[in-house]
């Protein structure tokens, strides 16, 4: 099956909720923000601005990677890029493998509608390994992205009919790109999360930013299981809920020198606030934005994202925090199931409370 038809199938499958995790959650339900009845400031005075990868955002929100390389992606990504530009948010492109391998340009060239927005490119680890740095640097230059995400998707590749279940040389590839690319390299998962051990290896390789993309939102193993034929479909069913919950991945990476983006089951501003309180620099939303766009186009996506930002502002106000930076140090009650993910010797940050 060609990459073009695969991308179309991904969009079709993500149009409803049949690709969500079935039993596993993000574990954000194990996080409670402590209410402050005396905020001592106006709601409108809460400052949501932050920096990510050296670029300023009006709010810590990334429209996470969804699509690219098929005709349908052009309208989607151009609308979302325009929204990101207008609202001061970031946009991550879907995998740019179709551009590298087939010259498919749909949905990848967006600087005319988003001249100053933070744009993140995206290639898979196997593609990055097998592509000379010079070609990846040209991809970065031609598309005008501010950073290149390299996605690690072992579980997804193993089930995908066209997958590459060989990721040898991954760390060497990341070291090469960190040393040779002119933009930051962000390592991201695709719905299975990042562990402490992986975080430590990434830091040693020179990586300074990650997208945890944890379990609990869209199951990309599930997406590929629906595309696969027997017997691999049965294998995909078994591993549908595989992965580290998003909140647990944030807890696992506590204390490491990494800018963290939290994607995976972030559906509203309250969950976003919980992720930021656990140490994320920003949050990413994908499928809910796609649903909003499908229902109302550019205006629908913009309205949805504005609601998320408004909810995030309210969460800050109700915790007595004046900014996103302060939210990262607010009082949090953590339940027992999430506490089990705390790495021995790397406790939760100060002021975290057991439930």
pLDDT digits (tens, 9 = 90+) for 293-320: 999 999 999 999 999 999 999 999 999 9
Confidence grade of residue 352 (pLDDT, cut at 50, 70, 90): low
Measured CA to CA, the distance from residue 59 to residue 52 in angstroms comes to 10
Q: Radius of gyration over alpha carbons of the chain, in Å?
A: 19
Delimit the domains of the chain by residue range: 3-354
Whether the CB-CB separation of 197 and 213 falls below 8 Å is answered with no
Confidence grade of residue 353 (pLDDT, cut at 50, 70, 90): low
For domain 3-354, the CATH class is alpha beta
* Residue at token pair 């001061």: 88
Measured CA to CA, the distance from residue 234 to residue 96 in angstroms comes to 29
Confidence grade of residue 350 (pLDDT, cut at 50, 70, 90): very low
Whether the CB-CB separation of 231 and 179 falls below 8 Å is answered with no
* Residue at token pair 């039993």: 23
Put the strands of the sheet holding 31-33 in their side by side order: 31-33, 332-334, 352-354
Measured CA to CA, the distance from residue 114 to residue 201 in angstroms comes to 34
Q: What's the start-to-end Cα distance of the chain, in Å?
A: 49
Whether the CB-CB separation of 217 and 225 falls below 8 Å is answered with no
Separation in Å, CA 16 to CA 77, 194, 223 = 19, 26, 11
User: What's the predicted TM-score (pTM) here?
Assistant: 0.94
Q: Is the previous residue joined to 231 through a cis bond, with omega within 30 degrees of 0? A: yes
pLDDT of residue 1: 46
**Mean of pLDDT over the chain:** 93
Q: Find all residues with CB under 8 Å of 340, minimum gap 6, and list them.
A: none
pLDDT of residue 65: 84
Confidence grade of residue 347 (pLDDT, cut at 50, 70, 90): low
pLDDT of residue 211: 98
């Amino acid at each position: 099956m060609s990459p073009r038809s695969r991308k179309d199938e991904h969009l079709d499958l993500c149009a409803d909720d049949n690709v969500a995790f079935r039993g596993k959650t993000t574990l954000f339900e194990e996080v409670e923000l402590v209410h402050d009845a005396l905020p001592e400031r106006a709601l409108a005075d809460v400052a949501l601005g932050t920096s990510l990868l050296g670029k300023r955002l009006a709010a810590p929100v990334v429209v996470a990677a969804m699509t690219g390389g098929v005709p349908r992606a052009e309208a989607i990504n151009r609308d979302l890029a325009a929204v990101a530009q207008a609202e001061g948010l970031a946009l991550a492109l879907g995998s740019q493998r179709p551009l590298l391998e087939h010259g498919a340009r749909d949905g990848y060239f967006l600087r005319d509608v988003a001249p100053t927005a933070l744009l993140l490119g995206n290639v898979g680890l196997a593609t990055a390994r097998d592509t000379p740095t010079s070609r990846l640097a040209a991809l970065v230059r031609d598309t005008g992205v501010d950073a290149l995400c390299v996605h690690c998707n072992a579980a997804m590749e193993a089930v995908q009919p066209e997958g590459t279940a060989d990721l040898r040389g991954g760390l060497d590839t990341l070291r090469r790109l960190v040393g040779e690319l002119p933009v930051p390299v962000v390592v991201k998962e695709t719905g299975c999360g990042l562990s402490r051990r992986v975080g430590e290896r990434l830091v040693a390789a020179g990586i300074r930013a990650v997208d945890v993309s944890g379990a609990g939102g869209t199951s990309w193993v599930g997406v590929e299981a629906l595309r696969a034929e027997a017997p691999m479909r049965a294998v995909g069913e078994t591993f549908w809920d595989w992965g580290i919950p998003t909140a647990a991945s944030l807890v696992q990476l506590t204390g490491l020198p990494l800018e963290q983006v939290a994607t995976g089951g972030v559906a509203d501003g309250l969950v976003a606030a919980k992720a930021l309180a656990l140490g994320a620099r920003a949050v990413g939303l994908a499928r809910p934005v796609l649903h909003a766009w499908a229902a109302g186009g550019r205006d629908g996506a913009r309205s949805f994202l504005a609601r998320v930002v408004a909810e995030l502002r309210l969460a800050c106000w109700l915790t007595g925090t004046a900014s996103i930076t302060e939210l990262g140090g607010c009082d949090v009650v953590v339940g027992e199931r999430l506490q089990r993910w705390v790495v021995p010797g790397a406790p939760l940050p100060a002021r975290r409370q057991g439930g």
